Structure 1
Amino acid sequence: MPLGPFTLVAIYLTTWWIVLFMILPIGMRDQVDAPPTDGSQWGAPANPNLKKKFITTTWVSAIIWAIIVGVVWTGIMPIPEIDTSRLPAL
């Protein structure tokens, strides 16, 4: 197995953040043209639907993560070995 548990988790978390930033702008609308009276900013979205976007991000990331892991495990894109003989001694 070329990927350890730490690497698998790191790949998933990296994928999750990338997918989150791709999904966040989907369906966003600015507030109405009238000035906000509740203390929010002009450009703040009226309804960001963050819970729905986090759930969507989680399952999309799981699918992309499974594809990445499958590609590495099948050997289509192997991970190169590290030559430890050239590393400096600690």
Structure 2
Amino acid sequence: MIFSWISWAAVYFVIWWTTLFAVLPFGARSQFDDGVISPGTEPGAPTRARIGRLFLITTAAATVVFALLFWILRQDVFGLDDIPFLPRFDRVG
């Protein structure tokens, strides 16, 4: 295996976190857009956060990206050693 399971978990976490920031603005409506601004709040604040929905979309998208990356790196066709500016890696196990 090219990485340990802890390394794969770290890669998934980075992909998930990056995907979250890409998905965060999907369907967001600000208080200014809706025309109802609560006193003492920022007009650009969302009216409904729907954070659970965003987490589900993020998890689904990150899992697809991670599965694709995992499949590519597990194949013998392409590996990290094929990237010219990276150092050479020894296989583990």
TM over 0.5: yes
How large is the RMSD of aligned CA atoms in angstroms? 1.7
Which amino acid letter does the alignment assign opposite residue 46 of structure 1? T
Identity of aligned residues (%): 26
Query: How many residue pairs are counted as aligned between the two chains?
Result: 82
Q: 1:10-50 CA distances to partner (integer Å, 9 max, x unpaired)? A: 1100100111011100001111334423x322110101111
Any residues of structure 2 matched to 1:1-80 within 5 Å, and which? 1-31=1-31, 32-37=34-39, 39-80=40-81
Q: Which has the larger radius of gyration?
A: 1
TM-score of the aligned structures, taking structure 2 as reference length: 0.77
* Structure 2 spans left out of the alignment, 5+ residues: 82-87
* Structure 1 spans left out of the alignment, 5+ residues: 84-90
Q: Which runs of 4+ in 1 moved over 4 A?
A: none
TM-score of the aligned structures, taking structure 1 as reference length: 0.79
